[in-house]
A and B are shown apart, each in its own frame.
Chain A
Amino acid sequence: AQRVTQPEKLLSVFKGAPVELKCNYSYSGSPELFWYVQYSRQRLQLLLRHISRESIKGFTADLNKGETSFHLKKPFAQEEDSAMYYCALSGSGTASKLTFGTGTRLQVTL
């Protein structure tokens, strides 16, 4: 079984402060990990994938297989980063169903 845990429902930070959204996973094989973002009342958008090791909107995430984590980080939070963030996992090799965490709401205040 695959499971994704996002321990924080709400993370509130000041503008310019560093951000770390936590994500831990449980999966017996090699997982594919993703971060999705949902701005207010909009559709979910893919933010980044661990396989591509990209940086989108200043966000990065490193897969730590030893700690089974895929935390999302940004050095300096911006107001426009305020949104709901979901960590998601899929089995490796072929596309399969995405399992989502319960999400963390990031609130960036002045």
Chain B
Amino acid sequence: DAGITQSPRYKITETGRQVTLMCHQTWSHSYMFWYRQDLGHGLRLIYYSAAADITDKGEVSDGYVVSRSKTENFPLTLESATRSQTSVYFCACGDGGVNYGYTFGSGTRLTVV
């Protein structure tokens, strides 16, 4: 199916563990993004990527790592999970052209205990 998919939908992990959230898109859009959604903060940008092998930090990147070896995948890794990283994580992608605006995935609800 065409679109943008995130996995897993739900994840519970322990403090200090490494966890990777996956994001896959089928359109070959250049731009991909990771946001976290928290009550009172709205959506905050963690990392973004303009193309394969090009990534840049957003406003809340500490404790997170990304990679983009292939255009269609943009995994987000929490190197050592902390309780403050409990959140809903959204991946998004866009082509950066006339069809401005981005398409979001369904989100991953991560709980760090």
Contact indicator per residue, chain A 90-103, by CB within 8 Å of chain B (1) or not (0): 10001101111111
Check: A49 CB closer than 8 A to any chain B CB.
yes
Choose from B45, B94, B103 the contact partner of A95 (Cβ within 8 Å). Answer: B94
Instruction: Contacts A95-B100, A97-B58 given; indicate if A103 touches B105 (C-beta within 8 A).
Output: no
Residues of B within 8 A of A101 (CB): 42
A interface bracket (residues with beta carbon within 8 Å of B): 20 to 34
Across the interface, name the chain A residue whose C-beta is closest to B56.
Answer: A97
A41 to chain B, nearest CB (A): 9
- Of chain A, the residue at the smallest CB distance from B109 is A41
| Contacting pair B45 A102 (CB below 8 A) | no
Which chain A residue shows the least CB distance to B29? A95
Task: Please give the residue numbers on chain B whose beta carbons come within 8 Å of chain A beta carbons, in ascending order.
Answer: 30-31, 33, 35, 40-45, 48, 58, 90, 92, 94-97, 100-107
Set A46, A94, A102: member contacting B101, Cβ < 8 A:
A46
> A17 on the interface (CB 8 Å rule)?
no
State in angstroms the CA–CA spacing of A8 and B28 once bound together: 37
| Contact across chains for A49 and B100 when beta carbons are under 8 A apart | yes
New A-B pairs, 18, CB < 8 Å, besides A97-B33, A103-B43: A9-B40, A36-B104, A42-B106, A43-B106, A43-B107, A45-B104, A46-B102, A46-B103, A51-B100, A86-B42, A90-B100, A95-B31, A98-B33, A98-B45, A98-B92, A100-B44, A102-B41, A103-B42
Which of chain A's residues 24-56 have a Cβ closer than 8 Å to chain B? 32, 34, 36, 42-46, 49, 51
The answer to whether A98 and B96 have CB atoms under 8 Å apart is no
Instruction: Give the Cβ gap from A83 to chain B, nearest Cβ, in Å.
Output: 14
Q: List 28 A-B contacts (CB under 8 A).
A: A9-B40, A34-B101, A43-B104, A43-B105, A43-B106, A43-B107, A44-B104, A45-B104, A46-B101, A49-B100, A49-B101, A86-B42, A90-B100, A94-B96, A95-B31, A95-B94, A95-B95, A95-B100, A97-B33, A97-B45, A98-B102, A99-B45, A100-B35, A100-B42, A100-B43, A102-B40, A102-B42, A103-B43
Max chain B C-beta neighbours (<10 A), residue from A45, A90, A95, A101: A95
